[in-house]
Amino acid sequence: MSAYHRAIDYLDVADRMWPVLGPLMRGHARIYRATGGLLGGSFPGLPKLLLLDHVGAKTGKQRTTPLAYMPVGDDMLVVASKGGYPHNPGWLHNLRAHPDTEVQIGRRRTPVHAREATPEEAAGLWPEASRYNPAWGRYRKRTTRQIPLVLLQPR
């Protein structure tokens, strides 16, 4: 098969894009926040997005990360997949240090407490999460680390 006709490995493409993803995500968060979620809160065929505010564990700097989420009762589930990379995303490290924070969904801002799902909870949540967002299941297969599931509980 020629190089022109090879199937596209989207995870490989994403790997190569990491240097530009940070600035893109920060721009996305600014647009989402400025428009009250009218722009950037959803994209066709993808799960809805929230803005997660978190404080740097070492720097103390306020940060905002757009994340796909799945409603679980009154809670919101976010997956610390980082595209199946070997290391957890920085926002997880920050939430471990500062679990009381805030999310924005559309115009609504909600104070939340972040906690990682227990292994038993995660075992029950993974099948539903993988159906809800198939990318999460693909990321899980891509890595040897246990991808943490984080429940954002309204306070």
Domain definitions of the chain by residue range = 3-154
- Exposed/middle/buried for 121, CB within 10 Å: 0-12, 13-18, 19+? middle
pLDDT of residue 27 exceeding 80, the answer is no
The superfamily in CATH containing domain 3-154 is Electron Transport, Fmn-binding Protein; Chain A (2.30.110.10)
- pTM, entire model: 0.82
pLDDT of residue 25 exceeding 90, the answer is no
pLDDT of residue 151 exceeding 60, the answer is yes
User: Under DSSP, is residue 67 helix (H, G, I), strand (E, B) or coil?
Assistant: strand
